[in-house]
Amino acid sequence: MEITLNGQRRDVPDDLTVARLLGLLELKPEHVAVEVNRDLVTRSRHEGATIAPGDEVEIVTLVGGGAPDPAAPEPPQLTIGGHSVRSRLFVGTGKYSSLELMRECLEASGTEVVTVAVRRERLFDREGRNILDFLDPKRYTILPNTAGCFNAEESLRTARLGRELLQGLGNPGADWVKLEVLADPRTLLPDPVATLEATRVLVAEGFHVLCYTSDDPIMARRLKEAGAATVMPAGSPIGSGQGVLNPNNIRIILEDLKRDDPNYPVIIDAGVGTASDVAIAMELGCDGVLLNTGIAGAADPLRMAHAMRLAVEAGRLAAGAGRIERKLYATASSPTQGLIAGRGA
């Protein structure tokens, strides 16, 4: 027979009671209220209340109060090289004590993009497991990086191998590369000449280059001119946990790269150690933060992953809200009129 259920025509079995209808719909009686032809059917009557052809049945439940504001816009997505993401936290996969912990921290961080190194060793861990067994390529955009490369040729080979691997997985990160060309193993600072050379080649080969660099504004300009999809200045040396050491240079980079292109992404990469470092980077106006050691090296990585997630959100909100002016002297926040006792009383 046919009835009208919550305003929609629906075919249901004959000889139907309210209790049986709720069972068919897999609804708990204590979670709903039911009307038949606008008459309330109390729970005590569910078993005996029959439903006839053509009846109008309303089943309601409780929901969160209020309605979404249709005018309230969703937070804008971050677009890099044709890809858009909502989370502005990019998280690495190294240094975790176990692959299980890595997976839990990535989930807690809310990240959508995870970075992985491309290596010939460590295809499997001691238990015969590969890192890709713990990364869902349908959930995450995997960003291969050229970490550990000390010249342009090594970085180009690594980038091409990473693309081949991710194309096989069908992952959208196949045309991305996080480019690192390091100058020496002690400081892990970028080699500016080799980085610029590799950027030009990779851009010509169709890569979207996410480029690790120093906080030198001139170098940042050159990398953007070379076609880098985003410039990623270090807050401080890789893994140092010192935070953003030179905020003035970061401000200059943001000013220069966004002057004629306000949507050009600038992401802090390296050196952040805790949530306050992340918030500061975002408050400066950066579009995101990439980190690894700050989470993996924490005493409680899972809790730190949550903290980093909240810090990105808080820092971005604060940047958009606009902080108060810094002043030399105090300004009372309470009104000075109507005080009970005058000054000196």
**Pick from 274, 281, 215: nearest CA to 240:** 274
178 in catalytic set: yes
Judge whether 281 and 248 are in contact, CB under 8 Å: no
Task: Report the C-alpha gap between 81 and 137 in whole angstroms.
Answer: 19
Q: Which of 28, 95, 178, 327 is catalytic?
A: 178
Determine phi and psi for 247, rounding to 5 degrees: -60, -30
User: For residue 84, what is the enclosing H or E element?
Assistant: strand 83-85
* 193 DSSP assignment: H
Question: Residue 314 corresponds to which amino acid?
Answer: A
Instruction: Please give the Cα distance from 41 to 322 (Å, whole number).
Output: 55
What pairing do the DSSP bridges indicate for beta strands 176-179 and 50-51? unpaired
> Under 8 Å CB-to-CB from 25, ≥6 apart: which residues?
59
According to DSSP, the β-strands at 176-179 and 208-213 are parallel
Planar angle of CA 276, 278, 279, nearest 5 degrees: 65
Which pairs with CB-CB distance under 8 Å and at least 24 residues apart come from 105-110? 105/295, 105/296, 105/301, 105/302, 105/304, 105/305, 106/135, 106/140, 106/305, 108/302, 108/305, 108/306, 108/309, 109/295, 109/305, 109/306, 109/308, 109/309, 110/309
Enumerate the active-site residues. 178
